[in-house]
Amino acid sequence: MEYNFREIEQKWQQKWVEEKTYKVVEDNSKPKFYVLNMFPYPSGAGLHVGHPLGYIASDIYARYKRLQGFNVLNPMGYDAYGLPAEQYAIQTGQHPEKTTFQNIDRYREQLDKIGFCFDWDREVRTCAPGYYKWTQWAFQKMFNSFFCNKCQSAQPIEKLIERFEEKGTEGLDVAQTENLTFTAAEWKAMDEKQKSDTLMNYRIAFMGETMVNWCAGLGTVLANDEVVDGVSVRGGFPVEQKKMRQWCLRVSAYAQRLLDGLDTIQWSDSIKETQKNWIGRSEGAEVEFKIADSDESFTIFTTRADTMFGVTFMVLAPESELVEKVTTPEQKAAVEEYIKYVKGRTERERMIDHKVTGVFSGSYAINPFTGEKNPIWISEYVLAGYGTGAIMAVPAHDSRDYAFAKHFNLPIIPLIEGADISEESYDAKEGIVCNSPRADVKPYIDFSLNGLTVKEAIAATKKYVKEAGLGRVKVNYRLRDAIFSRQRYWGEPFPVYYKNGIPTMIPEECLPIELPEVDKFLPTETGEPPLGNATVWAWDEVNKKIVENTKIDNKTVFPIELYTMPGFAGSSAYYLRYMDPHNNEALVSKDADEYWQNVDLYVGGSEHATGHLIYSRFWNKFLFDLGISCKEEPFQKLINQGMIQGRSNFVYRIKDTNTFVSYDKKDGYDVTPIHVDVNIVSADVLDVEAFKAWRPEYETAEFILNDEGKYICGWAVEKMSKSMFNVVNPDMIVEKFGADTLRLYEMFLGPVEQSKPWDTNGIDGCHRFLKKLWKFMTNEETLSPTLPHNGEGDHAACSSTTNTPNGLPIMGEMSKGQRGSKEELKALHTLIKKVTADIEVFSYNTSIAAFMVCLNELTKLKSTNREVKEALVILLAPFCPHLAEELWHLLGHTTTVCDAPWPAFNENYLKEDSVKMMVAFNGKARFPLEFPADVTKEDAEKAALANPQSAKWMEGFTVAKVIVVPGKMINVVLKK
RNA sequence: GCGCUUGUGGCGGAAUUGGUAGACGCGCUAGACUUAGGAUCUAGUAUCUCUGAUGUGCAGGUUCGAGUCCUGUCAGGCGCACCA
């Protein structure tokens, strides 16, 4: 019987659908396990072989957990809203809805061919009204909340209003945009609009006039993680800073919790580190400096409070509001010119070359520690958005200040004993402090840091600053609030309308506000939202209702928010929706949430480290504060699958000809390398005829072949992309080798977390293994002589209780149940141990190697034992589900292999005579022996070998090496 | 500049976590069966000056013993970055 994978795979895929094998329901009698893949953007290019890598890895784990008796949730859906989907639609000149749905169908078709155990009844699409209702709902909840710093959690905005009525902002400690102060009386005196504007300062979802990343090429604003090196991640269009009125999420309020939460989750160090960098916590002090000959003062932020005595000048960010206040009439022209220069520089220019530039403002600040007057400068190296936008410069111990001081010839005072600052600043936080205060000047205050270490000095200064009322201890974060609105069409509409210019939430019962049809959905360079083109709005109906309820003039039409939400809105809480995807009353029911808790295993690319993985954690923490999600962290364990890179092939055309020369003959010719479709190249040998047929211009191509008459292509590892003709489509692999081979091969390629180029060369090995396995399981010569077991007796290898209902003899003559031989069981249990341990740590490639070894062993033994075969099939089921089902079926089972019990490992089969002898799989072995300290090495060695017990263990082996550790132990290394 | 991470045959990668380095697969070599093989099977395959020696990017160290631990260094990949 041939291994007919096409027939087998088709048959079982159909069965799984018919029998809803992968449907999962909450079941309190079983422990739960939640496996999740980052859901894909359904892009136009379809899936390539890189996409399923993570899906296969998690599918194996999900199936394994199910075999172990867990109730496994493994859902899939589509992140359909947002820029990528819309850009594709624009490029192909179609409506995004149409292309998105087409792409989803294509993805689904491709996914179905690989045999995943997704519960498709739970599919979500972020662009479905039933789904984004809850995105809009969450936004409204954020709008109606503020963040209390003291209790570190979100609170209803009503609480804040009550407090304002009572005592204004007195003693207020909440997350805010600006530090406002007003009394209860002032609050009460505000009109509705003023109150609304004031509350925006505190809401978690708020409208703010902020500096945003404006991308004219995409016609929208972008979040920080969507901009890299001054250009948009999507499309690479230039991005400029612009002040705009935008919706924002106060992610920064959760900075500390986002940081602390990292300690409670099992993510890789590199992702945690990336998030820590992105959050950018720095502990320091804010110190107030008075401006000389003025009543004004300003605050600086520093992490080096110990360097207060080394300040020789101050620097303000050019954008700082203080600039105007400190500029003296004499300096006005120079300052204005400088500001003009800074404004003319793009973000990108500023980032790439760090020019030392600046201008003196004319004013001085009084150093509260020395009483000295320090000149106030203005320079672009100080950022308006970080800290207070003002710094104290300590050139001796900060490289940027040092460069500035040298350039403008400002004084440099060293503060650390022995620090050499003749060539560069001494930035290390190490050493003994001196010159604080300097011996040659009269102390201004009764405070000295001399003789302390830097660390002690920082602590001492902070304490002093606080006690003397000069400032306060402050923690700063780099993490910025997320800009949440986009001037785009393909996204969730905001559930917001404007009542007399005041942003107002649409009543919850009217959600969702559906995305309207528009004629023109293209973005505009000026930022006019495409939703303005809508002629028919679901909003119209809602508007009517609101108008009726409020008893205003029936003809009143309130304007609705025309911005849409960004891509990350819909992807931030989708894992919660999978728990209860059809619930129309709540995002997720209490019961479902408490059953599934949070995602146990999350699999996806590391490129989402500072985007989705921050937003999701923020979003979930907010919902946790509201009591919607019972777990503070959404993703307990995270695995980042590596990227599959493409392996491009090249042909070499001799310049100005249509002649192509083989790679090994190309030296001596002037050639142009040209990408060639990898699908017409096999093992770097070009299919010449296929090449001629590939494109019309190559029809008449001529070739200089190598000595063997072959055309050899060059190759390079590049990103897998259409333009490099190196895209390998999973469908083609499935067609040629089958889904089980694809699954096996993708896992065999190497560790899941490692990036690697796709290389089809090794795929035969995996396919060959499956063919051998098939042969072994079905070969007439090794037919099982045993009956299908029916629960009697103990089955050490497989404790299955699944009976063969009709008792039909399958696979040849059956006789009474029989134990596997010692050797068979040893091979099997070595495999059970290895596979079980490896799956737990996602080391699938080594599991597969163990399968190959085990099969070899069993084939050599001509094993015919049924319990061994059954166990083997179950172990295989996570990796190659189709084949496992078929074999399970051939073994006489009518139930799915998915519900078989995972074989239990029994150590006894690997032990010899119950001693501590470890027999490794490939024939290596060693065992320890104790021996007294006063015996010489040689004697110990002899004694060990002469020991009757040792002799027994050594049976069948030869001694490769004896390792003697005097007084400790002896290891005898054996080999077969 | 700061941080994380990876360096092992011709290639992808193993190594019981400190104990025979190179499992397993690809490729390659020889042989068998074949009209044929890009099918299948068997044997071999780290290197060298080959009865021996050398080998896990490089240089040291700890240890009876180091791919594994420590110190330094080089190279690649990733993240953050005029963040005070």
| CB-to-strand B under 7 Å, chain A 601-620 | 606-607, 609-610
Instruction: Using a 7 Å CB cutoff, list residues 709-748 of A near strand B.
Output: 748
More confident residue, A804 or A655: A655
Q: Which residue has the higher pLDDT, A967 or A725?
A: A725
A351 contact to strand B (CB, 7 A limit): yes
CA–C1' gap, A572 and B84, in angstroms:
34
Mean pLDDT of A704-713: 77
| Residue A736, nucleotide of least CA–C1' distance | B38
pLDDT for the residue A717: 76
Nucleotide B1 C1' to residue A432 CA (A): 23
Separation of A351 CA and B81 C1' (Å): 9
Read off the pLDDT of residues A603-641 as tens digits, 9 standing for 90 and up. 998 889 899 999 999 999 999 999 999 999 999 999 998
Instruction: Identify the residue whose Cα has the smallest distance to the C1' of B25.
Output: A765
Residues A535-571: pLDDT tens digits? Answer: 777 778 888 888 877 777 777 788 999 999 999 999 9
> Is the shortest CB-to-strand distance from A970 to strand B under 7 Å?
no
| Torsion sign over Cα A152, A153, A157, A158 | negative
Phi-psi region of A499 (alpha: psi -120 to 50; beta: other; left: phi over 0): beta
Alpha-helix runs per DSSP H in A144-262? 157-167, 184-189, 192-200, 255-261
Q: Which of residues 402-421 of A touch strand B (CB under 7 A)?
A: 403
Residue from A816, A802, A810 nearest A903 by CA? A802
Which tens digit of pLDDT belongs to each residue from A421-462?
Answer: 888 888 888 888 999 999 988 999 999 999 998 888 999 999
Q: Is the pLDDT reported for residue A814 higher than 50?
A: no
pTM for this entry: 0.90
Please check whether strand B approaches the CB of A967 to within 7 Å. no
Average pLDDT over residues A158-168: 96
Which window residues (538-597, chain A) lie with Cβ within 7 Å of strand B? Answer: none
| pLDDT on residue A305 | 92
Q: What is the token pair recorded at A723?
A: 């333009």
**Bridge pairing between strands A145-148 and A71-73:** unpaired
Average pLDDT over residues A355-382: 93
End-to-end CA distance of chain A: 36
Which nucleotide, over all strands, has the C1' atom closest to the CA of A771?
Answer: B40
- Nucleotides on chain B that have an atom closer than 7 A to a protein CB are 3-5, 11-16, 19-20, 23-27, 38-41, 64, 77-84
Protein-to-nucleotide distance from the CA of A566 to the C1' of B48, whole angstroms: 63
Q: Give the pLDDT band of residue A662 (cuts 50, 70, 90).
A: confident
Residue A853 beta carbon within 7 A of nucleic strand B: yes
* A382 nearest nt, CA–C1': B82
The answer to whether strand B lies under 7 Å from the CB of residue A272 is no
Digit-coded pLDDT (tens) for A174-191: 999 888 999 999 999 999
- Give the residue-averaged pLDDT of A246-264: 94
Mean pLDDT of the residues in chain A: 86
Is the predicted pLDDT of residue A165 greater than 90, yes or no?
yes
Give residue numbers, 869 to 898 of A, with CB < 7 Å from strand B. none
User: Which of A49 and A873 is assigned the larger pLDDT?
Assistant: A873
- Is 90 exceeded by the pLDDT of residue A148? yes
- Name the least confident of A350-354, A474-478, A734-738, A857-861: A350-354
Average pLDDT over residues A569-576: 96
A477 CA to B3 C1', in Å?
17
Q: Is the CB of A45 under 7 A from strand B?
A: no
- Our measurement of CA A906 to C1' B79, in angstroms, reads 45
Q: Return d(Cα A232, Cα A227) in angstroms, integer.
A: 5
Indicate the SS3 state at residue A870: helix
The one-letter amino acid code at A250 reads R
CA-derived radius of gyration, chain A:
35
A387 CB and strand B closer than 7 A: yes
Q: Is any atom of nucleic acid chain B found less than 7 Å from the CB of residue A386?
A: yes
Mean pLDDT to the nearest integer, A805-820? 43
DSSP E strands in A434-511: the ranges are: 471-476, 482-483, 496-499, 502-505
**In angstroms, how far is B56 C1' from A339 CA?**
58
Q: In whole angstroms, how far apart are CA A566 and each of A201, A248, A256, A489, A572?
A: 22, 11, 24, 10, 11
Question: Which residue is nearest nucleotide B79, judged by alpha carbon to C1' distance?
Answer: A274
Q: Are A637 and A600 in contact (CB under 8 A)?
A: yes
Query: Residue A804 above 60 pLDDT?
Result: no
Closest to A746 measured CA to CA, from A757, A735, A736:
A757
Nucleic strand B contacts from chain A, 285-324, CB < 7 Å? 301-304, 317
- Confidence tier at A813 by pLDDT (50, 70, 90): very low
Distance A270 CA to B6 C1' (A): 12
Phi-psi category of residue A39: left, alpha or beta, with phi > 0 → left and psi -120 to 50 → alpha:
beta
d(CA A859, C1' B44) / Å: 21
Nucleotide in closest CA–C1' contact with A853: B24
> Average pLDDT, stretch A21-26?
97
> CA distances (Å), A446 to each of A392, A442, A449, A594, A773, in order?
21, 10, 11, 60, 85
Q: What is the mean pLDDT of residues A793-801?
A: 36
Tokens linked to A682: 């096999």
Nucleotide nearest to A848 (CA to C1'): B24
The confidence score (pLDDT) of residue A948 equals: 62
A772 touches strand B (CB under 7 A): yes
Residue A941, CB, less than 7 Å from strand B? no
Distance A87 CA to B78 C1' (A): 27
Other beta carbons within 10 angstroms of residue A415's beta carbon come to: 28
Higher pLDDT: A685 or A478? It is: A478
Which nucleotide is nearest, taking the CA of residue A751 and each C1'? B13
Looking at the predicted structure, is the pLDDT value of residue A74 above 90?
yes
Query: Beta carbon of A13 within 7 Å of strand B?
Result: no
User: Which long-range contacts (C-beta less than 8 Å, at least 24 apart) are formed by A179-185?
Assistant: none
Which residues in 99-128 of chain A line strand B, with CB less than 7 A from it?
none
Instruction: Give the pLDDT band (50/70/90) at residue A780.
Output: low
Question: What region, left, alpha or beta, does residue A685 occupy, with left being phi > 0 and alpha being psi -120 to 50 degrees?
Answer: beta
pLDDT, one tens digit per residue, over A918-966 is: 433 333 445 555 555 556 666 666 666 666 656 665 555 556 666 666 5
Nearest to A377 by CA among A426, A331, A330: A331
Interval A646-667 mean pLDDT: 83
A46 touches strand B (CB under 7 A): no
> Using CA atoms, how far apart are residues A788 and A785, in angstroms rounded to an integer?
10
* Rounded Cα gap, residues A470 and A371, in angstroms: 13
Decide the pairing of beta strands A644-654 and A659-661. Answer: antiparallel
At A402, the pLDDT band (50, 70, 90 cuts) reads very high
Confidence of residue A807 (pLDDT cuts 50, 70, 90): very low
Backbone dihedral region of A838: left (phi > 0), alpha (psi from -120 to 50 degrees) or beta?
Answer: alpha
Tell me the pLDDT band of A230, cut-offs 50, 70 and 90: confident
Distance CA A962, CA A510 (A): 80
Among A345-349, A382-386, A600-604, A634-638, where is mean pLDDT lowest?
A: A345-349
Nearest nucleotide (C1') to alpha carbon of A745 = B25
- Residue range A81-113, pLDDT digits in tens: 988 778 888 888 889 999 999 999 999 999 999
Q: Tokens 């490129």 label which residue?
A: A607
* Cβ-count burial A729-755 (b if 16+ within 10 Å, e if not): ebbebbeebbbbbbbbbbbbbebbbeb
| A891 to A13, A49, A66: CA distances (angstroms) | 19, 33, 21
**Which nucleotide has the least CA–C1' distance to A958?**
B20
pLDDT at A782 (0 to 100): 46
In angstroms, the CA of A965 and the C1' of B65 are apart by 9
Among all protein residues, pick the one whose CA is nearest to the C1' atom of B5.
A270
Q: Answer yes or no: is A766 CB < 7 A from strand B.
A: yes
The reported pLDDT for the residue numbered A968 is 55
The widest CA-to-CA distance across chain A, in whole angstroms, is: 108
d(CA A944, CA A965) in angstroms, rounded, equals: 12
Distance between CA atoms of residues A53 and A750, nearest Å:
11
Mean pLDDT, residues A778-802 taken together? 43
